[in-house]
Amino acid sequence: MTVLTTLLRPGRTRTLAAFGLAAVLLLLAPLVLSPFRLDLLAKFLCLAMVAVGIGLAWGRGGLLTLGQGVYFGLGAYLMAMHLKLADAGPGGVPDFMLLYGTGQVPGWWEPLRSPVSAILLILVVPAALAALLGWAVFTRRVRGAYFAILSQALAAAFAILLIGQQQTTGGTNGLNGFRAFFGYDLADPVNKQMLYLIAAAVLLLMVAIVRQLTVSRFGELLVAVRDQEDRVRFLGYDPAAVKVVAYVVAAVMAAVGGALFVPIAGIVSPADVGVVPSIGFLIGVAIGGRATLLGPVLGSIAVSWAQTSISEQFPSGWIYFQGALFILVIAFLPGGLASVAGKLRRRAPEGSPA
């Protein structure tokens, strides 16, 4: 219990301890998990990156973004396109284009041939889209449910766009069958382990970034905007700018998660980026505790893990168990799993209530 309490309570030494503990756990995982399970964990870590961003934008900033699949998908597709081009070799054409396309690489794929520009685009494209959209929406004071609906519509539109462009995006098939990741053979278990370690390091880095943002002046403003936007405006700040920054950071985190998801999962398809996965990201954050630092990460990993292991145990009835689990958490722990620690702490000194 003390460990749990330490993990989930924000605080100076506690956060550092929790961060260290998480790092140690993540570094130990390759020693105890089979290659397949390690691969799964790596996948969950990528999804958790999206959750970290949502924790900032929604938990801290109150931006209920139901469309993070778009940014996750942008990162994933940009990475997948680069890997496809790299597999095809210099001047080569990805295999699926020969089968279903014109046999020629469209112009807008070309910038992704170089690894450097691919990485840059993975960071810049989602950031630019989020900044543009965020600016347009937040300066017009669109918020709450309206913003949620808008972001969700964006996710739906993105998936439909991908499906419609069979010849250049792989359509419903998505993109898969990658052989190498920046020159490293993806069939080699050692390289899979390397990918896991990269994912773990990036996730820790993101958590550290979000923590720094939260304790900074910006973090205070963000919470203030969430709780009393008008007062912040009267004090002379621009709430839209604060929100745009949080939204862009969340978008970039989702994109990086998507980019790392691709070599680890070996596939990305429109089913990974539409409305359903976008809501899925949110569920993990809600269950973990959206306003805490580690809640979104732990919630997201817990939900992914539960989904996989329950579906392995009960292939035909797992979906009911999952539904029941969500209902139980939402009904009895509206603050998320992270609030358990707080409840236990508050309860302990009072003695056992009846």
Partner 1 sequence: MRLRSTSRYGATRLSTVSLAALCVVALSACGARVDAGSDTSASAESCVDTSGDTVKIGFLNSLSGTMAISEQTVHDSLELAAQEINADGGVLGKELEIVSEDGQSEPTVFAEKAGKLITSDCVAAVFGGWTSASRKAMLPVFEAQDSLLFYPVQYEGLESSPNIFYTGATTNQQIVPALDYLVEQGTKSLFLVGSDYVFPRTANKIINAYAEAHDIEIVGEEYAPLGHTDFSTIVNKVKSADADAVFNTLNGDSNVAFFKEYKNVGMSADDMPVVSVSIAEEEVGGIGIENVEGQLTAWNYYQTVDSPANTAFVEAFKAEYGEDRPTSDPMEAAYTSLYLWKAMVEKAESFAVEDVTAAADGVTFDAPEGEVVVNGDNHHIAKTALIGKIGADGLIHTEWSSEEPIEPDPYLEGYDWADGLS
Q: Is 132 in the site for partner 1 (CB under 8 A)?
A: no
Considering the complex, state which of residue 32 and residue 190 has its C-beta at the smaller distance from partner 1: 190
- Token pair 């778009």 is found at 70
Q: What angle do CA 156, 161, 165 make, to 5 degrees?
A: 150
Residues ≥6 apart with Cβ < 8 Å to 38: 29, 30, 192, 193, 196
Which range in 135-143, 217-225, 245-253, 334-342 contacts partner 1 by CB under 8 A? 217-225
| Binding residues among 312-331 for partner 1 as defined by CB under 8 A | 312, 315-316, 318-319
One-character DSSP codes across 120-137: HHHHHHHHHHHHHHHHHH
End-to-end CA distance of the chain: 21
Helices (H), 139-188: 144-164, 166-169
Q: Is 227 in the site for partner 1 (CB under 8 A)?
A: yes
Q: Is 217 in the site for partner 1 (CB under 8 A)?
A: yes
Considering the complex, state which of residue 133 and residue 239 has its C-beta at the smaller distance from partner 1: 239
- Integer Cα distance of 133 and 18 in angstroms: 35
Considering the complex, state which of residue 133 and residue 252 has its C-beta at the smaller distance from partner 1: 252
By the 10 Å C-beta count (0-12 exposed, 13-18 middle, 19+ buried), 298 is classed as: buried
Sign, CA dihedral 214-220-9-296, equals negative
Q: Is 308 in the site for partner 1 (CB under 8 A)?
A: yes
Considering the complex, state which of residue 217 and residue 346 has its C-beta at the smaller distance from partner 1: 217
Residue 67 has phi, psi (to 5 degrees) of: -130, 30
- Determine which residue in the list 266, 279, 326, 345 makes contact with partner 1, applying CB under 8 A: 266
Q: Is 215 in the site for partner 1 (CB under 8 A)?
A: yes
Considering the complex, state which of residue 139 and residue 308 has its C-beta at the smaller distance from partner 1: 308
Residue 344 has phi, psi (to 5 degrees) of: -65, -40
| Binding residues among 51-110 for partner 1 as defined by CB under 8 A | 99-100
| Binding residues among 140-199 for partner 1 as defined by CB under 8 A | 160, 163-164, 166, 171-174, 176-178, 184-191, 193-194, 197-198
Q: Which residues bind partner 1 (CB under 8 A)?
A: 12, 15-16, 19-20, 23, 34-37, 39-40, 43, 99-100, 160, 163-164, 166, 171-174, 176-178, 184-191, 193-194, 197-198, 200-201, 204-205, 208, 211-212, 215-217, 220, 223-224, 227, 265-269, 271-272, 308, 311-312, 315-316, 318-319
